[in-house]
Structure 1
């Protein structure tokens, strides 16, 4: 598929960036861990290329000359996001750290070049907005909306190679590195894919900016869609009652003269995030903000480091410690309290609220066992982090007929455990991270959409891991809203 040159919609703050870019030769060697006392985005011992002096986990096998040419080319492209947008997100996350907000992050497991179209972006955007409306009413607090989009092209792999019928080829690592077809050419690690990923990300951001400011995010439109959802449920269901309460609130606002056609009701802030995995691409899009002198990775508003790449002496933590973006780190039951504190000290040495989000992915049983100790260590050390749950990732299994899937009941159980532990520890459950799509796929089992093992093949479209469909994601939003409502002292929906 061909992509037009990127023409960014500059409807948001377009802070000026100096001509300095994060471009240099890409030679990787090993050295000792960096100091964790540097200031965020302006460390004297950090540069956009300093990660090259550290061990790189999950490295691509790009031809060196092609890689260097591609990185230089991308280094001359326009930034995809801007420093002012990034700072706005940071401010919202800082409030959430103090219990004054809730983060919802959702989108594809991995974006694909061939699946790109306006409808796909719109549908996922719509479901996230629908969920945010439900959560806003349930929590009576601001909801921060972040899409796993416009850059979520790379995926880590357990094994570097894949074997089929006696043939061994490199594993599929996401479209930004290679392609899914099981051929020599498709599985070759191709640096030019980064250019295509950039242009698709630019188009996705154009679409998101247009939808978020052009009336598509109108609160009355979102509520009408939620009412359509509850029509699928039983007459006396909790979802119908909840939607009725939202409807009453909107009617009351209109009755007392609140202008629900004002921008506050028709526009919304929407941000993007992806896993910081392919460091040459991230380096190429790192820019110095001329107003503050800080470095920002302009590929996304927020980036996170995954479970497989969060080594304390590794290149990924070295890279993210120096950028001014809000950053996250995924942790499983493998992470000890002591290791978590060291990770926090490396990624957020100044203990700045909103800087660091901890994404917990363990499964319900392991979460109940391990999360209290992690929270206790953070509380004891006085660290400022935002805790969010990734209840989808740790609940993957394979069916007898070979499909990877996730059970809705297990996802709900992990979310319930997440809230229970935070209730016990007196800490703030600050958000949820979901692999999901707005499309009517059949990839995860259960929920009101009633997907069963035998119906998985009907609309199983994922390029990587199974995703919640729109109805399943919205169902989770109603469940989370009920829980947040209780935490904020509001009466339950009877």
Structure 2
């Protein structure tokens, strides 16, 4: 006798058709044009044949993110570009394979969630949280040779940090290791963002734990207590957590530095091409050359993109980048990240904002106040205040903040370590929330 229903013929409409992105082979419409263009930061690969084999392997693996998620993030960033939301981007600026642990990933994600809660309450607007995680295993090299006379360490995606000649030889197999590490990191983030990090009350309890037994004169204590009362009100009203925080999703970001890693993960879907190594891809100052390979590849995919602007960036060059990367002027496509120290922000940023605004480009403005690892906290605050002052004077929206986090070290002092610990990160969030109030 057949078990009831076990062998039933299900109609074909019972299960939704999965979204499948197709691998893009050699592209005749210019996707591979970057190969013949000037290219900064290209690793000196010793074996081009092995590199080609690895790239073909990467072209067959499942993507790390989906086109639907990428489109969703771009739509949410469009709201921020229009002045009705705020982008918070944070995490490890340079990830490593050894540091790719669940504890560290969750600590940084929890810190990001706590900062977002403070900003959303203080600024009275939605916050789009994007983790700097699951892909940033490479970093720009200042020179081919380091101070010890060895080939420079370019990040775990390229070579080994061990100070030895053999360890510093670029290894194409590390691209596969980077993909595996990124996939593991995304699994961890997805699991926690659908669990404890999706629970506003849990996020607030973690934050409240940092304020237990503190001195009554602690900065922002009153604001924290106000937030606590608001959370209690939400709980008392029986508002479901899904309704209070409907967009809890682990968006990932990293700089698209190594094109041999990025290109195989470009896939075709929805009539467009997506870089599915991450949701939000970045161009650092070192690779932002208008006629360069990085700009060419990124211009041909549908992901939202960040472009880092330094103190020497020219307004005219910024407008040209806007035209190249966002020719259809789609809100949410392009974020301009101002990495200009407090000593020059008043001088360098206004001409850029004025020129881009006058040209009619719909961009999202973001501040990165941590010009270097270990930037003193007072200088970070000075840079953020200068950034807000410029936008207030020009009547534009200071729509985002990017910070380096070291969330698994709660007591990180000002200027110590690569990023902000939980206490300093929350301090910064409260300060930015006050600035958002105007």
The whole-number CA distance in structure 2 between the counterparts of 1:286 and 1:174 is 22
Match for residue 53 of structure 1 among 20, 36, 41: 36
Which residue is 1:116 aligned to?
Answer: 100
Q: Aligned residue for 1:414?
A: 383
Taking a change above 3 Å as real, the CA distance of residues 75 and 422 of structure 1, as seen in their structure-2 partners, is: same
Unaligned runs of 5+ in 2: 1-16
- Residue 198 of structure 2: SS of its match in structure 1? coil
Residue 15 of structure 1 pairs with residue 19 of structure 2: yes
Give the superposition deviation at 1:260.
3.5
Per the TM alignment, residue 142 of structure 1 is displaced from its structure 2 partner at its CA by: 0.7
State the Cα deviation string for residues 123-169 of structure 1 (Å, max 9, x = none): 001000000000010111110010110001110011111142xxx22
What is the correspondence of 1:404-443 to structure 2 with a 5 Å cutoff?
Answer: 405-440=374-409
Residue 478 in structure 1 maps to residue 433 in structure 2: no
CA distance in 2, matches of 1:214, 1:288: 31
Distance 1:46 1:264, change over 3 A: farther
Q: For the Cα contact (< 8 Å) 1:23–1:284, is it kept in 2? A: no
1:385 and 2:363 correspond = yes
Structure-2 separation of matches of 1:295 and 1:282? 12
SS of corresponding position for 1:346 = helix
Deviation string, structure 1 residues 320-374 (Cα, Å, up to 9, x no partner):
1000000010011211111111111111111110000000011012111111111
Contact kept in structure 1, 2:37 and 2:292, CA below 8 Å: yes
SS at the partner of 1:78? Answer: coil
Residue 149 in 1 paired to residue 143 in 2?
Answer: no
Counterpart of 1:84 in structure 2 is 68
Partner deviation per Cα, 1:246-270 (whole Å, 9 max, x = no partner): 1111222233x33344464487122
In structure 1, C-alpha distance between the alignment counterparts of 2:231 and 2:422, rounded to whole Å: 24
Unmatched 5+ stretches in structure 1: 1-12, 25-43, 397-403, 461-465, 488-494
Partner of 1:274: 254
2:288 is aligned to 310
Mapped to 1, the partners of 2:389 and 2:118 lie a distance apart of 21
| Change in CA separation of 1:23 and 1:280 when aligned onto 2, cut-off 3 Å | farther
Query: Equivalents in 2 of 1:232, 1:334: separation in Å?
Result: 46
Give the whole-Å Cα distance in 1 for the aligned partners of 2:238 and 2:393.
Answer: 39
1:207 corresponds to which of 188, 191, 197: 188
Residue 420 of structure 2 is aligned to residue 468 of structure 1 = yes
Task: Determine helix, strand or coil for the equivalent of 1:405.
Answer: coil
* 1:204-239 CA distance string (max 9 Å, x none): 101111111123331111111111222364313342
- 1:300 alignment partner, SS class: coil
1:418 CA drift (Å): 0.5
Q: Check the 8 A contact 1:212/1:267 in 2, yes or no.
A: no
Is the Cα–Cα contact under 8 Å of residues 113 and 197 in structure 2 kept in the other structure? no
RMSD: 1.9
Cα distance between partner residues in 2 of 1:214 and 1:107: 20
Asked whether the equivalents of residues 213 and 267 of structure 1 are also in contact (C-alpha less than 8 Å), the reply is: no
More divergent stretch after superposition (358-367 vs 208-217): 208-217
3-state SS, counterpart of residue 197 of structure 2: coil
Structure 2: distance between partners of 1:14 and 1:218? 28
Q: Secondary structure at the match of 1:429?
A: coil
CA contact (8 A) 2:411 2:422 kept: no
**Contact 2:410 / 2:423 at 8 angstroms: preserved in 1?**
no
User: Take 2:20 and 2:214, find their aligned partners in 1: how far apart are those partners?
Assistant: 50
Shift of 1:405: 2.6
Q: TM-score if structure 1 supplies the norm length?
A: 0.82
Alignment of 1:171-210 (within 5 A): 171-210=152-191
Deviations 1:398-443 (A, max 9, x none): xxxxxx6321100110000011111100000011011112121777
Q: Is the 8 A contact 1:304 1:327 kept in 2?
A: yes
| Residue 277 (structure 2) aligned to one of 293, 296, 299 | 299
Whole-angstrom distance in 2 between the partners of 1:267 and 1:100: 15
Specify the SS of the correspondent of 2:337: strand
For 2:163 and 2:400, locate their aligned partners in 1 and report how far apart those are by CA, in whole Å. Answer: 38
Alpha carbons 2:312, 2:348 under 8 Å: kept: no
2:264 paired with 1:284: yes
d(CA) in 2 for partners of 1:213 and 1:267? Answer: 11
Deviation at 1:46, TM superposition (A): 2.8
2: distance between equivalents of 1:190 and 1:441?
35
Task: State the partner residue of 1:31.
Answer: none
Alignment of structure 1 residues 390-409 onto 2, 5 Å:
390-392=368-370, 394=371, 396=372, 405-409=374-378
